[in-house]
Amino acid sequence: MQPAIGLYGGTFDPVHHAHLRLALEVREALGLAGLRFVPCHVPALRAAPGASGEQRRAMLELAIRGEPGLSVDDRELRRSGPSYTIDTLASLRAELGPEVPLVWLLGADAWAQLPRWRDWQRLTDFAHLAVLARPGAAACETPADPALAAFLAEHRADPGCLRERAAGGVWFQPASLLDISASAVRAALRAGRSARYWLPEAVLDYIARHGLYRPAGA
């Protein structure tokens, strides 16, 4: 079996150190051949991003510059309409072939909302799902939604399945989840406060140069 590729989707509006630290940890823990950030174009279940797709892609590329194994996959930005993960995974599988293990990373909140996603029960046809959780956290391992609980019971695995199959498993991946949120970053910037140390300096410079997330009335 070939080395797995990790996929980390989101708006990244803007990308911050919690995103980056998590990506590094998961890449190392799972021995991934690479991890791709997949910025979405139009979120299906949340408000539209404040920065454009081009701007969010540029900030991601600045944030990971020089870091081996991390890259940006902009296929969702190149599609019109809402970004659906099932379409992205189907596209990747068609491109990479049936033998490469794919791992889609999910936060605990996204995992709880998975039954709201388009064709969510088919996601494991194309990839494994790694649900990111703080070490020792067990709450998301017992879903309240009966359909999600049944899905987990059918697909539950451990990362060892990456050596055996290209898709189909669900497991809970321990991760050091830093307490930084893009919404808090945007709120600070709009209030005229500093976001230094939440974001890479190159991203902060880009935000300043392009006038993103400006204070009200600026």
pLDDT reading at 137 higher than 60:
no
How many Cβ atoms sit within 10 Å of the Cβ of residue 81? 9
pLDDT reading at 42 higher than 60:
yes
C-alpha span between 186 and 200 (Å, rounded): 14
138 found inside a domain: yes
Whole-model pTM? Answer: 0.94
pLDDT reading at 80 higher than 90:
no
In this structure, which amino acid lies at residue 39?
P
**Tokens matching residue 168:** 């189909």
210 found inside a domain: no
C-alpha span between 43 and 138 (Å, rounded): 28
More confident site: 32 or 178:
32
Q: What is the structure's pLDDT at 124?
A: 98
63 found inside a domain: yes
State the residue range of the domain holding 93: 5-177
* Model confidence pLDDT, tens digit, residues 2-30: 999 999 999 999 999 999 999 999 999 99
H helices present in 98-137, as ranges: 108-112, 123-126
211 found inside a domain: no
Q: What is the structure's pLDDT at 52?
A: 95
* Model confidence pLDDT, tens digit, residues 152-182: 999 999 999 999 999 999 999 988 888 999 9
C-alpha span between 124 and 141 (Å, rounded): 17
183 found inside a domain: no
C-alpha span between 130 and 52 (Å, rounded): 28
Q: What is the largest CA-CA distance in the chain?
A: 56
Q: How many domains does the chain have?
A: 1
136 found inside a domain: yes
| CATH number, domain with residue 115 | 3.40.50.620
